[in-house]
Amino acid sequence: MVACIINDTAPIMLGDLLISNQHKPAEFFIPSLNENILKFLPNISQYHPERLNQKLYVLKSNVCVAFSGDVHYIKRFLEDISIFCRVNDIVTAARMKIFLDQYADDVIWEHFSFVILIIEKKDHEILMGKVIRGKWVRSNTSLLGEIFASGSGSEDFLREVNEEMKVKSNFSNSNIDYVLQMNTLMICKLLAKERLNLSTIKNFWGAGFEMIYIDKDHFTKLDNITYIINIGKAENGKLENVPVPETILNYKYHEDILVITSVKLLKGDTREIDSFYLFTSKHFTVTQYIITPIDYKGDDDFRRFQKEVSFNCKINGMGYLIETGPSSYYTPVCFNSGPEIEVEFKYPDLFTMKVLKSLYETIIAESSDELR
């Protein structure tokens, strides 16, 4: 599933990581669960989760692309368009059209879909061009704006973003930080639901998400962010205890390779220190997921990433799985960039998370109706 989100402030691209195939592997693991998920999936489908790959690419500082469809044909086209962007110092929408016209009668268009975004500077303004081909579904949403989605899970994704959500933000909806916040919240929501019941994986999408956005005058991927999934239980509209972190997912790029460090806490302690809740754990399992581009041909020694397991992050998204009854859950989410939430993992010794009490209390207060 890939999506292009257009609003009045700045475009966003989202893409999942899952690649499916008719070949069924012996086992398959995803970052949000860290278990062999094949034992939870029905054995009647002709497709099965096979691997994880990136589907979003920044080809030049002003050009990015997203793909869905047949991997074989995507690789062929990705190689061509990457060369085109490398050999041309300047890529404009007009030049891109000339390049794409070479493929006018090529059969590859039957096998995959793509969207390309191109930004150009003119008279102190940034203009954006969009090229979209293939099979896409479209929706106008009150939360994110106009959305084009393609691939497995595209209909599911549109249903998720069209669900009514009560949102509280310190930014106006014309602020780029608001756009980033809303899209990151959506990723948190999807990851929390995936952890709960594999809702995405069952329909051949998910397993992790990338985002491309405009940083001033160039495209970049959202980097060095941690997603935390917290577990809690409510009875008669009140939480029994402060929800505790269970799954922690740190996303970090090493050039064009994405490394997701997945930490699953087995047990831990919760304390109140001044204006913060402090969660600590010395008991956890850790798995690193190495996510390469779909056309990766390198020979990196991925063992080098094992030396970089520890992380400290102040850009964090949090999803909550709050059990409100038998097989009933409420899933509020939050995103914060700053000292209000701080996650530190000192491998192999200690996991620590600090959450400002007033931030947590705001989330619970806003969720009071849903907890009943």
pLDDT of 101-157, one tens digit each?
Answer: 998 888 888 999 999 999 998 887 888 999 999 999 999 988 888 999 999 999 999
Q: Please indicate, yes or no, whether residues 206 and 318 belong to a single structural domain of this protein.
A: no
Q: Please indicate, yes or no, whether residues 189 and 265 belong to a single structural domain of this protein.
A: no
Mean per-residue pLDDT, 194-204 = 93
* Rounded Cα gap, residues 246 and 314, in angstroms: 18
**Where among 160, 189, 220 does a domain terminate?**
220
Mean per-residue pLDDT, 162-166 = 85
Q: Indicate the pairing of strand 12-16 with strand 209-215.
A: antiparallel
Q: Please indicate, yes or no, whether residues 65 and 146 belong to a single structural domain of this protein.
A: yes
Q: Please indicate, yes or no, whether residues 261 and 367 belong to a single structural domain of this protein.
A: yes
* Rounded Cα gap, residues 157 and 190, in angstroms: 9
Q: What is the pLDDT of residue 180?
A: 92
Give the CA distances from residue 267 to residues 197, 246, 279, 350, in Å, rounded to whole numbers and listed in that order.
Answer: 22, 8, 10, 12
Q: Please indicate, yes or no, whether residues 230 and 253 belong to a single structural domain of this protein.
A: yes
Q: How many domains are there within the chain?
A: 2
Q: Please indicate, yes or no, whether residues 207 and 239 belong to a single structural domain of this protein.
A: no
Q: What is the pLDDT of residue 238?
A: 81
* Rounded Cα gap, residues 60 and 85, in angstroms: 6
- Each as own residue / partner, the long-range contacts of residues 120-128 (CB below 8 Å, 24 or more positions apart, any chain) are 120/62, 120/92, 120/93, 121/217, 126/214, 126/217, 128/11
Q: Please indicate, yes or no, whether residues 328 and 246 belong to a single structural domain of this protein.
A: yes
State the pLDDT confidence band at 166, using cuts at 50, 70 and 90: confident
Q: Please indicate, yes or no, whether residues 277 and 354 belong to a single structural domain of this protein.
A: yes
Domain harbouring 26, CATH code:
3.60.20.10
Q: Please indicate, yes or no, whether residues 179 and 230 belong to a single structural domain of this protein.
A: no
Q: Residue 168's domain spans which residues?
A: 2-220
pLDDT > 90? residue 283: yes
Report the chain's mean pLDDT, rounded to a whole number: 92
**Where among 163, 196, 220 does a domain terminate?**
220
Mean per-residue pLDDT, 35-57 = 90
Q: What is the pLDDT of residue 173?
A: 81
* Rounded Cα gap, residues 334 and 227, in angstroms: 10
Q: What is the pLDDT of residue 169?
A: 87
Q: Please indicate, yes or no, whether residues 248 and 284 belong to a single structural domain of this protein.
A: yes
Q: Please indicate, yes or no, whether residues 83 and 148 belong to a single structural domain of this protein.
A: yes
* Rounded Cα gap, residues 219 and 140, in angstroms: 23
Question: What are 245-271's pLDDT values in tens digits?
Answer: 999 999 999 999 999 999 999 999 999
Place of tokens 């005058």: 217
Query: What token pair was written down for 81?
Result: 């368009």
pLDDT > 80? residue 309: yes
Q: What is the pLDDT of residue 165?
A: 82
- Of 30-39, 122-131, 360-369, the range with the lowest mean pLDDT is 360-369
The more confidently predicted of residues 68 and 372 is 68
Q: Please indicate, yes or no, whether residues 279 and 201 belong to a single structural domain of this protein.
A: no
pLDDT > 80? residue 369: no
**Where among 158, 187, 220 does a domain terminate?**
220
